[in-house]
Amino acid sequence: MPSNKSVSDAPIVQFTNCRILRDHQLQREDLWVREGKILNPEKLFFDEKGSADVQLDCKDSIIAPGFIDVQINGGFGVDFSLATDDFKSGIDLVGQKILSHGVTSFCPTLVTSPSSVYHQVLPQISVRNGGAHGAGILGAHLEGPFISKEKKGAHPEHCLRTFEAGAFQDLLATYGCLDCVQIVTLAPEMRRSSEVIRELTKRGICVSLGHSVANLSQAEEAVQHGATFITHLFNAMLPFHHRDPGIVGLLTSDRIPAGRRVFYGMISDGIHTNPAALRIAHRAHPKGLVLVTDAMAGMGLAPGRHTLGQQVVEIDGLNTYIAGTKTLSGSVATMDTCVRHFQEATGCSVEAALEAASLHPAQLLGIEHKKGTLNYDSDADFLMLNDSLYVQATYIAGKEVWRQDVSGM
């Protein structure tokens, strides 16, 4: 057998008998992995005269990029918006548990909180690679407190903030630190929001529009200043109106700067968004749709009372409300459930459903060169799924980190 030692001593693993999601299509090819990256087999054969050290039969599974959840407030009893002494162990627990749902990278999300919470929690969040310990952390998503009182949803009103004279300095003082921040959700109709959007964008932070009463021209102006995302489309914003479609109108706006794509999150849990609304959004702007769970501490737990930051919430089946009200508050859906519901509700292709949870969030965050695809040289974070899109195994950096415990598999 030809030697593989010319380039690297690391073993080469060949995944066979599978359908790989590549270039927007499921293709019957083998997947080659070495040192945590996806290999180009032609280079291996012809340049290195190499071959596989290990072959794994995937038994006709689908292989898709790992899911990326850019809005997750917690889960399994852990609330990212609570400053606790064991915060790090909590984030580790969530990272570990979501592997079974196909999530290989995530953005821990904090809802509107007192400034002291941001100052305590944010220094404890660090960007890191995933592995057997759990999904990778891409950076925090700060949802609020610079949002609209009228569309606060489950966010506590007493913690909401506006931008004062030194708008960006206000934001810095509130959060304390932006080192680990990946996304900030704000309401673009707020005075001085434009300068904040520009400053955040300049620092490589994604600005998302949400919890807002913005009209379309205010939303378009925010995009022209650098905003690229919409937080949970249809939820916590003005409803679509034919004379002024509000933030929703960004999906078909002709005032988006050339070369820019606006992405939008959708909670496809069967509760937050009617299937018809999912279909409308997907058909209007399929390449911008990003599936998010918006999951909270109660995900993975029995119905009852749990927390979402400063609020007490009640879980009844898949419905989650602020205790004593009918105000929706986050979800308890897992990402794999959202992918399956989205595919069923829209009738989209399997490829489109999988890309909405992998490629699109990677493109939103500008990391598609390493995450969200199975292109050569990208990170070998991927899933094995059956035809019904149930996760059978999860791999990070080419190593199995979770497998469905089914005898005979």
235 assigned binding-site residue: yes
Q: Is 9 exposed, middle or buried (0-12, 13-18, 19+ CB in 10 A)?
A: exposed
Rounded to whole angstroms, what are the CA distances from 211 to 74, 91, 277, 323, 343?
A: 19, 25, 18, 20, 26
Quote the tokens at residue 349: 């292709």
Where do runs of H (alpha helix) occur along 22-86? 41-42
Quote the tokens at residue 365: 């965050």
Q: How far apart are CA 303 and CA 314, in angstroms?
A: 7
Q: Please count the CA atoms within 13 angstroms of the CA of 1 that sit on its side-chain side.
A: 8
Quote the tokens at residue 113: 């909180």
Where do runs of H (alpha helix) occur along 189-328? 193-202, 216-224, 275-284
Q: Is 218 helix (H, G, I), strand (E, B) or coil?
A: helix
Q: Is 93 exposed, middle or buried (0-12, 13-18, 19+ CB in 10 A)?
A: middle
Rounded to whole angstroms, what are the CA distances from 361 to 96, 111, 366?
A: 20, 20, 9
- What does the DSSP assignment read for 278-308? HHHHHHH-GGGEEEE--B-TTTTS-SEEEEE
Beta strands, E only, 132-232:
136-137, 140-143, 181-186, 206-209, 229-230
Q: Is 252 helix (H, G, I), strand (E, B) or coil?
A: helix
143 assigned binding-site residue: yes
Does residue 162 contact residue 202 with C-beta atoms inside 8 Å? no
375 assigned binding-site residue: no
Q: How many residues does the structure list for the chain?
A: 409
- Check if 294 is active-site: yes
328 assigned binding-site residue: yes
Q: Tell me which of 69, 294, 336, 379 is the catalytic residue.
A: 294
Question: Looking at the annotation, which residues are catalytic?
Answer: 294
Binding residues for substrate: 154, 235-236, 243, 272, 328-330
Binding residues for Zn(2+): 143, 211, 232
Binding residues: 143, 154, 211, 232, 235-236, 243, 272, 328-330
